[in-house]
Structure 1
Amino acid sequence: MASTGLNFANLTPDDGAIKDLKRLIFLAVTDPQSLGKIFNFLPRQKHGEKVGFVGEFGMVGKASQGCNPSFGTSILATSEQEWDIREWEVAEKICYKDLEGTIAQVAMRTKTNIGDITGTEYTDHILMPRLELAIRKMLMRYAWFGDKAADTVTTEGNLLASVDPAYFTLIDGFWKRLFMLVTSAPERRTICEANAAATFAEQKAAMRGNYAAVDFLDALISDASTVLRQANGQLIYITQALKDALDADLKRNNKGSELQWTALFDGITQTNYNGVEMIAIPFLDEIIKGSETVTGGKAWNKPYRALYTLKDNLLVGMEGESELADIQVWFNKDEQMNKILAKDKIGTLIADNNLVQVGF
């Protein structure tokens, strides 16, 4: 079995075209390297620790009582939650034999040291940057789609049969927490009828109907609590599929007028919708359309999703100091294997359920 590394099968080493690995051009992928713009990342968090939140005073202020007033007992609203933070790891190995006969051989050592690829151009300039990107995408996957009960369609779950549930079951992410929230507080959900369609094509057709996307987002805002609608930093997260439907809706029904979207970082875009900042995250669609289906695999699992909240209301706790863990790379002489190891812990919390309106 080949060990972990770059797949050079489609790159020929003997035509003289590539002598320096730095000349390789990476294919574009979603790069969630600015995750702090999406979530409230909290470093140095511990499993089982309590997190306290402070809200607002209740009503205050009555007619003056003159001398010797009667003092009220209004207090600040508080709440408490507990971190469920679990450890993840990335453990990979690379054998130099898998790189022989490929263009990576231009970066390999020779003779007795041929097995050690640590510190080479291949490791430093090709492998490590892509591994860091993969870890960031892993954090996004767990933060949004983590589900301790995730399973494949073959056992009553929503994951494709080809997807390993272990990539999702570490923690409960935001969508799982939101789905659980609306079972006890249905008023916190705005229904998107298009998601219930039985096939991929019917879902798309339903959302591309007259004003369907506009009506859905307008309802999301109007359904939200007055506390949320008065809060500073309001933000609506949407899937790319919903963005596309919204753009088509506005262009078709408003004689060509469109929302003005600004690129944030690599695919994630931002605009202002009815006075509320809104960002579209294609990574959500990447997971939904790459891993999740319903109706026996004939439709996507809620492709049109929207979350109206505050960025600071979405907490991602890490045990480490930064969103990207330290990556250790070493060469094992006895095994003649290059090994890579990264570990950290992650958990999610929604600070205040009153500051949430979710649409799906």
Structure 2
Amino acid sequence: MGLINADALTLHAREAETVSEVIFERVFNDSDLAEYHEIETGINVKTQIAFAERLGLLGKLSEGCTPNEADGFALTEKFWTPVLEDFRLKHCQNDMPALLKLFRKSQRINPDFFDAVGSEEFGIIISAVESALIENIHRKVWFNDTAAKTVDDAETPGVFTSNTDVDYFNSFDGLFKQIMTEVSDEEIDLKHINITDNEGDSYANQALAEDAAIAIFEQMVTIADERLVSNEDSFILATRTLADNYRATLRNKNLGSGFLEVVEEGRPKLYFDGIEVKVRYDWDRYIKTYQNNGTKWNLPHRAVFTTKSNIPVGTLSEEDLTTLDVFYDKTEKMNIMDAAYTIDAKHLEAYMTVAAY
């Protein structure tokens, strides 16, 4: 099938004459990647990330001529392991029904009818694809899993919805996979709050109890390392399910000034004890679409308390994540959109994260 499938349109009366009259389905998460993550550029090969352990106690009473020796610190490491991903979208004007006038009116057939690159209308399609690319990057950064399996996998059933093409998810390990792996690693002290409602055996039984979210957020902040709580850039990323539950509590209880919802520049902002709660509506969509076994969802309630510098995204060039190579192939008479980029995501320091799921 070509880039555009117009089979569902009724070609009678007055049809849409330009792409600008077509209403595109809204992108699920239109936020800039940099709102949630530091972007590390120049990453196209395996690259070391070194960590220096915090120094302990320093300074004892001086006696004699020899200074007191202090304990040193250890260095640890992780690695960027970026992968190269790409895709191509092709559109041929002959694929469109003759009556559908979605592109500029041509003055001649060859080449004007076939070449849509550079037209205002095709530019709108390019913009829609670029937005979808951003959405896909968000999905990969959090939900990718190199061991991704569907729920009906014959050998080792996984959590991905039946018939999902897991090749869209298994190029590198996303942040949820990394965080959950570290939570289960006894040698890594990554703090975790268990959300019992996630364990329900049906959609209905996974519903959050009243005031559950405020209790979860309170536990997350309480057990968090002081360096995370005191960091001015810390935030809580949360599914809509948790945010809506928290909003309900705010409406029903008279809480202090640090627990509120405000509107800034037309966008609602949630705060818990002065810490911003950023609602990840896209997480809910991905879970419901791609991690659904037909009876229940895989961990539908999730929150991560951290900083964006602790969950960076690595790429060779930030522009690669948002830019398409668009050209017209005269031989094939195809309008082509190519994209290629290197990408990886890293969870860096465990003490700077609290996860709830």
TM-score range, shorter chain: 0.7 to 0.9
Distance in 1 (alpha carbons) for counterparts of 2:320 and 2:227? 30
Give the equivalent residue in structure 2 for 1:28: 26
Give the equivalent residue in structure 2 for 1:42: 40
Distance in 1 (alpha carbons) for counterparts of 2:167 and 2:119? 32
Larger helix proportion, structure 1 or 2?
A: 1
Distance in 1 (alpha carbons) for counterparts of 2:288 and 2:265? 22
Matched length: 349
**1:8–1:103 contact (8 Å) kept in structure 2:** no
1:50 CA displacement:
0.6
Match status 1:89 vs 2:86: yes
Q: 1:251 to 1:77 in 2, by over 3 A?
A: farther
The alignment partner of 2:132 has SS state of: helix
Q: 1:300 to 1:40 in 2, by over 3 A?
A: same
Residues 102-135 of structure 1: CA distance to partner in whole angstroms, max 9, x if unpaired? 13144556322122221123321x2100010011
1:68 CA displacement:
4.1
Residues 234-257 of structure 1: CA distance to partner in whole angstroms, max 9, x if unpaired? 2111011110111123333449x9
Within-5 A mapping of 1:119-198: 119-124=118-123, 126-155=124-153, 156-185=157-186, 188-198=191-201
Give the equivalent residue in structure 2 for 1:241: 241
Q: 1:218 to 1:95 in 2, by over 3 A?
A: same
Distance in 1 (alpha carbons) for counterparts of 2:325 and 2:339? 6
1:332 CA displacement:
2.0
1:16 CA displacement:
4.1
Gap regions ≥5 residues in structure 2: none
Equivalent AA in structure 1 for residue 89 of structure 2: E
Q: 1:98 to 1:245 in 2, by over 3 A?
A: same
Within-5 A mapping of 1:282-297: 282-293=281-292, 296-297=293-294
- RMSD over equivalenced CA pairs, Å: 2.7
TM superposition score normalised by structure 2: 0.88
1:217 CA displacement:
1.4
Give the equivalent residue in structure 2 for 1:275: 274
Residues 31-83 of structure 1: CA distance to partner in whole angstroms, max 9, x if unpaired? 434110111111111331111234533222334x2774614345466432111
TM superposition score normalised by structure 1: 0.87
Q: 1:190 to 1:71 in 2, by over 3 A?
A: same
Distance in 1 (alpha carbons) for counterparts of 2:136 and 2:118? 25
1:12 CA displacement:
5.6
Q: 1:297 to 1:145 in 2, by over 3 A?
A: same
Distance in 1 (alpha carbons) for counterparts of 2:6 and 2:106? 14
Instruction: State the identity %.
Output: 23
Give the equivalent residue in structure 2 for 1:335: 332
Residues 149-188 of structure 1: CA distance to partner in whole angstroms, max 9, x if unpaired? 1121111111111321111111100000011011114762
Residues 284-336 of structure 1: CA distance to partner in whole angstroms, max 9, x if unpaired? 1110111112xx42111111101011111001000124363541122222222
Q: 1:70 to 1:264 in 2, by over 3 A?
A: farther
Match status 1:70 vs 2:63: no
Distance in 1 (alpha carbons) for counterparts of 2:9 and 2:281? 29
**1:208–1:249 contact (8 Å) kept in structure 2:** no
Equivalent AA in structure 1 for residue 149 of structure 2: D
Distance in 2 (alpha carbons) for counterparts of 1:291 and 1:164? 10
The alignment partner of 1:220 has SS state of: helix
Gap regions ≥5 residues in structure 1: none
**2:17–2:103 contact (8 Å) kept in structure 1:** no
The alignment partner of 1:309 has SS state of: strand
1:201 CA displacement:
0.9
Q: 1:344 to 1:73 in 2, by over 3 A?
A: same
1:228 CA displacement:
2.5
Q: 1:359 to 1:107 in 2, by over 3 A?
A: farther
**2:15–2:100 contact (8 Å) kept in structure 1:** no
1:26 CA displacement:
4.1
The alignment partner of 1:57 has SS state of: coil
1:259 CA displacement:
2.4
